[in-house]
Chains A and B, each alone.
Chain A
Amino acid sequence: MALEKFEKINSSAVPVATENVDTDQIIPARFLKATTREGFGENLFRDWRYDANGNEIPEFPLNNKKYSGTILVAGKNFGCGSSREHAAWAVHDYGFKVVVSSFFADIFRNNCLNNGVLPVQISVAFAEKVFAAIAADPNAQFEADLVAQTFTISSTGESTSFDISPYKKECLQNGYDDIDYLISLKDKIGEYEAQA
């Protein structure tokens, strides 16, 4: 299934600095009852965004009008816990194209990549600078450049590089997904099955 092609994003960012944010926070289990991939954005961070009566919790960054943009800047070990891809769907459906953290949980990272969301892992020190830049100016702009594999604080020009496997990079740039690739391996898979 063709994904949106990804090259470069320039945007302001929304900070959620809490560490060890698990996928139950990103999308609580009671919202997993859908059988499609769409519509999960409205329940992204549901229990942090809304109180028990469904009222917005104004101090939560997603509700704070001063923050906007397609980049989510998260705390360390983001996306740990359950493998639910619904978490990546919720992040994507809400409108984020990039998630920045000093550390990602493995399955969540894979799930993001499989949905055209770029996980940008940066050092703890650089993450602190990013949070500081947003604290100083909620409209601070950032650039996530997939081709150059760099993440830049636009106002200061401070930049850092990030890792991504060449294969996944090519997939994102061209909007390919793994399933097309695996189906193209049919003969090899057949050979493997014959000798196993």
Chain B
Amino acid sequence: MEAKTLFDKIWDAHVVSEIEGGPSAIYIDCHLIHEVTSPQAFAGLEKRGAKIHRPDKTFATPDHNVPTENQHLPIKDALSKFQVDKLTENCEKHGVTLYGLNHPYQGVVHVVGPQLGLTQPGMTIVCGDSHTSTHGAFGAIAFGIGTSEVEMVLASQCIMQPKPKKMRITVNGELGAGVTSKDLVLYIIAKVTAGGGTGYFIEYAGTAFKNLSMEGRMTVCNMSIEMGARGGLIAPDQTTFDYVKGREKAPQGADFDKAVEEWKKLTTDDGAVFDKELEFDAADIEPMITYGTNPGMGTKIKSSIPALSEIEVSEQESFQKSMNYMGFSDGDALVGKPIDFVFVGSCTNGRIEDLREVANYVKGKQKADNITAWIVPGSKQVEKQAQDEGLVEVLEAAGFELRQPGCSACLAMNDDKIPAGKYAVSTSNRNFEGRQGPGSRTLLASPLTAAAVAVAGKIVDPREIVNA
């Protein structure tokens, strides 16, 4: 029998129809929608006079554009309110399950799916959001789509997709103390570059990933798109099965045991061929931070911004543009640079382990006076758990402002904006120009680093304080 990759096994099992030299119609097991990229798809569907083919396989929650304060009150921003209301209306009309604002399951769509057990190994999962790659942590093919594709899934539960190329990134060894899954993925992106994964679907393999919790794996897979890859996935194992077990939408009892037997087959066969293979050593990875305006512009916190002469000639102009935007100079040291805002949250790092990590670090400490620190749980369930575990008191005592679940300052569609010219160390996924508000300057880092920066008021290596 032909040796297959994990990706091939899942893909092949979902091909409904193939077009010679063209894309395949791929069946989608789980479709997640939110308020910003779905309204035009519903409108398109209605214009065609078509119905949702499988309303039972689409799940909705508002997240991108919701306020993170006073969620019990009507939304003030008229356009945001219109989008959120439209989602409710569309779901009611078409029979789609909605976890609306104030529902105990509402939250960032990529936090909600895994939490409810909607995300399971071997599935195909899509959402009109590029960070759908998060769900690949479970050994699923999960990727972001455009709104026309959302309409395809609504109309047919299928999507037209060309088969991507396959890349395997292997990292063996153990991450050092103070080095987290976020540092691991920022390190990989810095090596591969912001466009180096384009055209590929990535499998992450090796002990560095196997040793991560499910939440750590989600952080890694989440940022696959920041290399341009459609998605990334990790073969499911006992850690995965233990996480899924008992969740509301997961198979229960004997069905679960049967499912696990199938899920155990979801590994890459020995001898399967990838179009590209990369290998890194976990021992080389340190706490990371970005200094530029794409996630590939990252480096070890303790090092400096590259000198202009180290940048390829063809890329120097874009590099210089980026430095001008950030207010940095090539060759600058990063440690010691003053920071204004710290944002902990998003589909990358808004889960309970992230909140625990920050709370554990700041316990008994105070944020620096020059820092505004926002912490936004990824979902209502994360929020509740943080309350139950006493994390909220710890965070508030340290001067963090706890907000309500949503995408918040990751993309600043709502009022959570970093002011122009200000520096934010953010646990989110993108440091693009203006991403966190017009003129905002974003430095991506781990929750641990964000906590250390909040306390120090400037960029620090979290290990030095940890070890002190």
Query: Chain A interface (Cβ within 8 Å of chain B)?
Result: 1, 17-20, 22, 24-25, 28-30, 32-37, 47, 52, 75-77, 80-86, 88, 103-107, 110-111, 114-115, 124, 165-168, 177-179, 181-183, 185-186, 188-189, 192-193, 196
Contact = CB atoms under 8 A, between A and B. Distances in A.
A35 B148 contact: no
A61 to B, nearest CB: 14
Nearest to A38: B40
Given A29-B413, A189-B16, A20 B198 contact: no
A181 B155 CA distance: 11
30 contacts: A1-B44, A19-B318, A20-B195, A20-B296, A22-B294, A32-B36, A33-B77, A35-B39, A35-B40, A35-B83, A47-B434, A52-B420, A52-B439, A80-B294, A82-B411, A83-B129, A83-B146, A84-B36, A85-B40, A106-B199, A111-B146, A114-B148, A115-B148, A165-B23, A167-B19, A178-B148, A178-B160, A182-B159, A183-B50, A189-B53
Interface string B422-454: 000000001011110011000000000000000
Nearest to B292: A20
A29 to B, nearest CB: 4
Given A24-B430, A165-B23, A193-B27, 9 more contacts: A30-B413, A81-B130, A83-B129, A85-B40, A85-B128, A178-B148, A178-B152, A188-B16, A189-B53
Interface string B51-66: 0010000000000110
Contacts, number: 191
B194 interface: yes
Contact of A20 (B155, B157, B160, B294): B294
Interface string B217-250: 0000000011010100000000000000000000
B162 A83 contact: no
A75 B160 contact: no
Given A82-B130, A103-B198, A35 B151 contact: no
Q: Identify the interface centre among A20, A32, A189: most chain B CB within 10 Å of its CB.
A: A20
Contacts of B194: 20, 77, 80
